[in-house]
Structure 1
């Protein structure tokens, strides 16, 4: 008999963190689940860490892609090796709270029309510092976000999905690199209701390295393509792509990149990494402009002064 939930985790370069991720799943209170870890062409010891745990825990399975195929393709490989009616996502450097699966399963059992159940997350910071990452919660709020922005209304590693809905839309589309989740939400929204739980059920790790210019550009480009494809579902994707590429706006892309890099620096500082935040802005100064660092430092100084006055 298949388990009630399958957790799918792609790994690449995760040798230092995947053991802790799997340990958090081994501590789950929900009794019926398995874990499919997909090795996306790793070059470190991540697969060895997984294999050692799988040798002592039959709930854990390691599947190898043979080469680096990317997140979307690796996730589809993982889905092909699952039999559960519910599929949960987790990344190889994140941590699931012990009751995460049980809480999301309860929500899915309570609403047969619910196809995606996500949650808030707790960003992992320096020492005990952590921040709450919030997302729109109700179906109406999530649908509004999908209708009016290019941002994902879910933390992808924090979701649980109904397998039948995933199959109905064909799983992940590998053409949408770095926006495969946003593309999925635009398609799966028509299969049923969407929900984010208020409680943070996943601890979400932020890499101080941040996003590269290439990745941000790719993410923006494919998010625009996903939006256009959703608006014209009967057009071949090649035709939609041609229209999107013809309408590309370099100035708009530059503004998006600068905004995302500045927001990432602010998140690093809030998580207790102010030096890393400044270092990040220095590395990407050609994207954010020469005044970004002094403005950032001045803003954080003012913020610290206000906090000190409130604390008196």
Structure 2
């Protein structure tokens, strides 16, 4: 076997999918495979051993704490210079190991690639999730502090860098996003491949589809970084001004640092550039974020002012947030009408659905404009 790269799989009760993942690892090249079993109660390990035989090493977590602990356990047992993640319900394409290894040996610390989304039940491809051009552009990777724009972070890594950064054992979701942010702040060199090398399974039961859990851990990941540190990194980068002001405003909003937020939103409002992939001007984006901030500050009338200026009756995120503002002002009928209008435009819109179902209890605000790029949320 090659002693340059290890394929690392973490699994818990993955008997229904592990054979598919294991066969893809076998076809990917002559690489050792490490399976971290997070206390499965089914035949996950036996099925993987039947396929991978002597190529497989199995390690069991000391405690069943979730995916963050399982990935950190994997890092502690990889003994090759490079590694590559494979989720237990996904597939590697045969060339992926070689292309990842080439990029890592050329000097990259982290390597990611486009992925093909497929239906887990039927195996049918559902569409290519590419990595947006603006992320590939100079300084673009720092927009990761706005939100995660990379459809699948389970790529390749230099083992010493990954081990030094580490994976937070406490994270039960978004552990890969947390790792990415901390790796970037640690100076990791990122390389983005052009060709798809990974098939990413869609299943309604996938952990990534638990939006409430994912959002909670995403917020925790972002809160680990100080605003001053992020400002320094973005100002050192070659990120365009519109993107820099928006990313810093969004980050300051998450941390509720109102002086910095107001400063960045003011600069954004004066910027006549448009920001991909939203296709919106700086002024539009400034208005959206200002409405979110007003609702955070308990100022629904101010939020209404911003949102009504932006409302074209075609933007589901604006309609949802108008409903939130109206509910907070006591106008429950108009709030429900706004949420119903949002659902006519996007029937599966989670925030508007929950707001209508909850009847005003624990209102869901769409804090940032909806994505305008292919992503895991597009299904």
* TM-score > 0.5 by shorter chain: yes
Q: How far apart are the structure 2 equivalents of 1:86 and 1:210?
A: 27
Q: 2:112 aligns with which of 106, 113, 118?
A: 118
Conserved 8 A contact 1:139-1:193: no
Q: Root-mean-square deviation (CA), in Å? A: 3.5
Alignment of 1:64-103 (within 5 A): 64-65=60-61, 67-103=63-99
Q: TM-score, normalised by structure 2?
A: 0.57
Q: How far apart are the structure 1 equivalents of 2:218 and 2:37?
A: 26
Q: 1:104 aligns with which of 100, 104, 111?
A: 100
Conserved 8 A contact 2:75-2:163: no
Conserved 8 A contact 1:139-1:194: no
- 2:225 is the counterpart of 1:218: no
Q: How far apart are the structure 2 equivalents of 1:70 and 1:23?
A: 24
Q: How far apart are the structure 1 equivalents of 2:152 and 2:206?
A: 17
Greater strand percent: which structure? 1
> 2:36: which partner in 1?
38
Structure of greater relative contact order (alpha carbons < 8 Å, 6+ residues apart) = 1
> 2:17: which partner in 1?
17
- 2:153 is the counterpart of 1:156: yes
**How many positions carry a matched residue from both structures?**
248
Q: Which runs of 5+ in 2 are unaligned?
A: 230-253, 259-291, 297-316, 322-346, 358-379
In terms of Rg, which structure is larger? 2
Q: How far apart are the structure 1 equivalents of 2:180 and 2:144?
A: 8
Please state whether the residue corresponding to 2:172 is helix, strand or coil: coil
Cα 1:221–1:48 shift into 2, 3 Å: same
> 2:354: which partner in 1?
287
Q: How far apart are the structure 1 equivalents of 2:68 and 2:348?
A: 29
More displaced stretch, 129-138 vs 10-19 = 129-138
- 2:47 is the counterpart of 1:49: yes
More displaced stretch, 194-203 vs 172-181 = 172-181
- 2:126 is the counterpart of 1:130: yes
Please state whether the residue corresponding to 1:156 is helix, strand or coil: coil
